[in-house]
Amino acid sequence: MNWALRARRYDHYLTAESPVCFWVHVHETTTPLGVDYHDGIEVGVVLSGREELHWGGFKYQANPGDVWLVPMWEPHGYRTTLPNTQYAIMVFLPEFLGETTFDDMSWLSLFAVPPPHRPRITTDQQRGWILQVTQRMRIEMEQPRPRALVATRLCLTELLFELSRSWTPPRPTGAQTARPTSSLGRIMPALDLLRKRGPAVVGVTEAAHACGMSRSLLNRLFHRTVGVSFVQLRTRAHLTHAAHLLLTTDLKVEQVAAEAGFSDGSHLHRVFLKQYGCTPGQYRARGRRAVA
């Protein structure tokens, strides 16, 4: 897939005071492939029509009532394949749901697995119920009343719980033998450092110190909670900043690498090619042509 088409970063300025954004996209016609990536966690619901989601070689056709899930800083492609398509998007900080669990399963478990293994809606009854919950969230966010964020949090928890009901996560590998509970609270200081530091590099030792634990424990908890190591999540965050600079500035690739926290242009080139399937230069050229 060509990640460079209509690619851009959406920065929603999520904060502790405003930990969630919600909006509805309306497309009267079909659209070309675009790419989205952001600092928060995304939940999307198709309201009408059809939206096609892409993660590298994996493609998912979402119809009315279908849901897609995207963790922090994970690039994903999207395109509208039917006219008159509407879909709702919610982007939120992980602390918005905090340590919420469904029995022994953390809500983050739904996002921590690779895209093909994330839960999907499977019945028409579920789709109808999801549409009702999404409409309730829409009312709370677009026509705010007292404690609207509390009501929105409850709706989102209901939606994720419904996804978890019939979902069986992939079998754990290695030394893991049981489904982990949430360690979000323990790694939250490291996540805060990544968001607040932006393109500046946050070292593993610094992140571990902020969480009051060893480097090895930090990485174990990151794997268990968000599905990747701290370094992998940090690289994902830096790549989104580099992609943003490539499309919005005329900086040379070496300068983009320095601004985005990479050691040099070769390092950025290598990581970028692995993640996006094209070089930084190709990404910039194709993305700008698509925008034009």
Range of the domain at 237: 184-291
99 and 225 in a common domain: no
Asked whether 183 and 105 are in contact (CB, 8 A), the reply is no
Quick check: is 265 in a domain?
yes
- What are the two backbone dihedrals, phi and then psi, of residue 283, each rounded to the nearest 5 degrees? -60, -45
Asked whether 97 and 41 are in contact (CB, 8 A), the reply is no
- What are the two backbone dihedrals, phi and then psi, of residue 227, each rounded to the nearest 5 degrees? 90, -10
At 197, which CATH number? 1.10.10.60
196 and 153 in a common domain: no
Give the pLDDT mean for 113-140: 94
Question: Binning pLDDT at 50, 70 and 90, where does residue 130 land?
Answer: very high
158 and 29 in a common domain: yes
Asked whether 54 and 1 are in contact (CB, 8 A), the reply is yes
Q: Last residue of a domain, which of 136, 165, 194?
A: 165
Q: Is the pLDDT of residue 12 over 70?
A: no
- Looking at the chain, the number of H-run helices and the number of E-run strands are 10, 10
Q: What local confidence, expressed as pLDDT, does residue 41 receive?
A: 92
265 and 146 in a common domain: no
Q: What local confidence, expressed as pLDDT, does residue 8 receive?
A: 47
Quick check: is 80 in a domain?
yes
106 and 39 in a common domain: yes
116 and 209 in a common domain: no
261 and 157 in a common domain: no
Q: Is the pLDDT of residue 3 over 70?
A: no
233 and 145 in a common domain: no
**Domain count of the fold of the chain:** 2
Quick check: is 9 in a domain?
no
At 83, which CATH number? 2.60.120.280
Summarize the chain as % helix, strand, coil (round to 5).
45, 15, 40
Q: Last residue of a domain, which of 114, 131, 165?
A: 165
Enter the tokens of residue 223: 């794997």
Quick check: is 171 in a domain?
no
Instruction: With H, G, I as helix, E, B as strand and everything else as coil, classify residue 17.
Output: coil
Quick check: is 1 in a domain?
no
Mean residue pLDDT of the chain comes to 85
pLDDT in tens, 54-112: 887 789 999 999 999 999 888 788 899 999 999 999 999 998 998 888 887 889 889 98
Cα-to-chain-centroid distance, residue 276: 16
238 and 124 in a common domain: no
Q: What local confidence, expressed as pLDDT, does residue 196 receive?
A: 82
285 and 210 in a common domain: yes
Quick check: is 38 in a domain?
yes
- What are the two backbone dihedrals, phi and then psi, of residue 146, each rounded to the nearest 5 degrees? -55, 135
Q: Which residue has the tokens 């489904």?
A: 179
pLDDT in tens, 144-158: 889 999 999 999 999
Quick check: is 13 in a domain?
no
Q: Last residue of a domain, which of 165, 200, 229?
A: 165
Asked whether 268 and 258 are in contact (CB, 8 A), the reply is no
159 and 39 in a common domain: yes
Quick check: is 61 in a domain?
yes
- Hey, which residues does 161 pair with through a beta bridge? none
188 and 155 in a common domain: no
